[in-house]
Chains A and B, each alone.
Chain A
Amino acid sequence: MGQTTAFGEMFRKYIADHFRRILLGALALAIFIAVWYFASWRLTESNGVLASYFPYPHQVARAFLASFTSPIPGPEAYMLNLAAASLERVLIGFGIALAISVPFGMLMGAFRTFEDLGKPIVEVFRPIPPIAWAGTFMFAFKAFWGPIAIVFVGAFFPILINVIFGVRSVDPVLMDAAKTLGASRKHVFTKVIVPSTLPYMMTGIKVGLGVAWMCIVAAEMLPIRGGGGLGYAIWTISDIGRYDYVYSVMIMIAILSILTAGVAGQIEQRLYKWMGMK
């Protein structure tokens, strides 16, 4: 009961604080849906091929809701199953990328030797689109780990580059001040370098997450095993021509992407607070 009241109060306060933003957001959404309706209506009137590619918003909404209670035509799977499969791959691929890129970035940012060793490799591989590795990864890592490897590559470089940049951006005055005050190397690292790097790292994480979702959707369009996933669903439903469901899956990807980015944002805030930065 107390919790419900707290939520209600929080909701009312949020609305009051963000009324203008919410109003404009709702207006933009309404305009978008109106334009969508108009475009669908025009295409339907023309009776052309394009009409089926732009179903009405209410048809998409109907398909979206139906996808939770009955299997989606084509993949013959429920939306939740597909979302879970994609989420699993994104989290595994992103998690591995995070675990490797952060220490590597720290080392490359802090030590010239590591930078000299790592930079040529990073600069060679960084510009290559992750999906270009698809053929190699699908062969080398097979159908389950192949897409995860593509997500890994997609998320790895944004985090790495931001961490390197973050470490290099640490104010030398702060480092000198800490050392003058008797801080050990460990303390300089944990109390100066890591907190200063954190905002950059979080930027890398947010960018990396976005890239990870793009990668998984593209990777799942390749032949894969292991629950299909949202990318597979888009590919298959497009094949049978049910675009109301194609857009439903796109909406699900957007929701998941926003949700994971939201979690990252919340973690960022908690970390700042925990480290005494806010």
Chain B
Amino acid sequence: MEKKTIVLSVIIVAVLVVGGIAAALLLSNKSERRAVYFVNVVPSNMEAWLAVNESDAYITWEPFASSATVSGDGRILMWTSEIMPHHPCCVVVVSKQFLSSDLGPELTKRFVKAHIEATEWMLNALSDHQSANYTLLVNMAADFTDRSAAVVSEAMGHVEFGYEMNASFKSALEEFTNMYINDGWITNETFHNRGYTDVPQFVDEYVNESYVEAAGTVDPRSTMFDVPIRLAYLKGDLHQMAQAVARNATAFGGQSIFEKYGLDVTPSLESGYAAGGDVMNAIGLDEADFGYLGAPPSILKHINNNVETVIVAQANSEGSAIVVGVNSDIHSLEDLIGRTIATPSVTSIQHLLLKVALERLGIELVKA
């Protein structure tokens, strides 16, 4: 046989064999696995994907869950609070580089104070739906999320806004970190190279409650600090409403809550970032000093990519849901087997909680 013919035959056979085995693996996986299939979709597009049957369900943060129920197109299958009650969701992180600057600790204390004040203002407004502040909050939220007042008022009822970081918060962060280590997303080698000996020690170091504790000692300031603060947050994420409230100057007599405490806060990206990983990247690239994002991507990027940050406050807990079509025959997680569900990204808390819920039932979550 000629040389070229042999080479050609070998290459073609190799391609066919490899392709065939892989295709067979794929097909066998599809038919035999007790699995739910996921696809990553930007939350603002999830409702459209559901409408055109590109996905059978989606899991997302508010207001994109309530958006479907208010429009009448979707139905809530399960709230994430049913998977893990009071689970942590979004947090406030600060860059260690910023913290190590001369004014870093003082400005961070003031930032956290403004975050707390904005959160308490929201909680107060939410306690009385007839109040002027409630209407103001709904309008602000509608503006920030680009959703109707009806959607955001429904959505805000499902989010636990808060800032304190208690023992259960830290315990949940330990659980998330352990999951990532067990799944090989974080290697022990990397974990130890970052200087952490075990997960509780990591969480103790990564979560710094001292700024929340010190916030009570912070007073308003008549002059602004001459240090611009760059803030990164997620696009239209209602969970991060506190920063939108704290930045709003028109609603509070021409001075924002951040300005009240002498802070010149500007968004590093006005439209907001698509995912928590992008927020951490912005901090890692020194494009942002503070970030609002989900706790899981914060942990992953901090350990895997050495993005030096510290969690200084919580932004919210709960407030995410699995949504199915209003006429869907899916009524339980078991019904999702063999179906496709859209998740924001593999590093999102929503993806993680979905995985937790399915694993409890012995169901895998795999790529569609």
Interface residues of A (CB under 8 A from B): 6-7, 10, 47-49, 51-53, 70, 73-78, 80-81, 83-85, 87-88, 142-143, 223-228, 232, 236, 238-242, 259-260, 262-263, 266-267, 269-270
Residues from chain A with Cβ under 8 Å of B84 in the complex: none
Please name all residues of chain B whose beta carbon is closer than 8 Å to the beta carbon of A47 when the two chains form the complex.
306
24 sample A-B contacts, Cβ–Cβ < 8 Å, listed by A number: A6-B6, A10-B3, A48-B306, A49-B284, A49-B305, A52-B304, A76-B367, A80-B18, A84-B18, A84-B23, A85-B22, A85-B26, A143-B368, A223-B41, A223-B342, A227-B26, A228-B368, A236-B345, A239-B275, A240-B277, A240-B304, A241-B304, A259-B14, A266-B11
Q: Which A residues lie within 8 Å of B23 (CB)?
A: 84, 88
B132 at the interface (CB under 8 A from A): no
Alpha-carbon separation in the docked complex, A52 to B277 (Å): 14
Least distance between A244 CB and chain B CB atoms (Å):
9
Number of A-B residue pairs at CB separation under 8 A: 122
Task: Determine the distance from Cα of A186 to Cα of B185 in the docked complex, in whole angstroms.
Answer: 62
Contact B11 A73 (CB under 8 A): no
| Least CB distance, B36 to chain A, in whole angstroms | 12
A53-B305, A225-B37, A266-B7 known; 8 new pairs, CB 8 Å cut-off, are A81-B29, A84-B26, A87-B15, A87-B19, A227-B367, A236-B345, A240-B347, A270-B5
With A49-B307, A83-B22, A239-B345 in contact, do A266 and B4 touch (Cβ < 8 Å)? yes
Residue of B nearest to A75 (CB): B367
Instruction: Considering the complex, give the chain A residue whose CB is closest to the CB of B53.
Output: A142
Name the distance in Å between B38's Cβ and chain A's nearest Cβ.
10
Of all chain A residues, the one with the shortest Cβ separation from B12 is: A263
Q: Which of A78, A85, A225, A259 has the most chain B CB atoms closer than 10 A to its own CB?
A: A225
Question: Count the B residues whose beta carbon is within 8 Å of the partner chain — how many?
Answer: 54
> Which residues in A have their C-beta under 8 angstroms from that of B214?
none
- Check if B307 sits within 8 Å of A223, measured CB to CB: no
Please name all residues of chain B whose beta carbon is closer than 8 Å to the beta carbon of A85 when the two chains form the complex. Answer: 22, 26
Q: How far is the CB of B344 from chain A (nearest CB, A)?
A: 10
Do residues A84 and B22 form an inter-chain contact, with CB atoms below 8 A? yes
Our pick among A6, A73, A223, A238 for the contact of B39 (Cβ within 8 Å) is A223
B85 touches A (CB below 8 Å): no
> Chain A: which residue is nearest B280 at the CB level?
A241
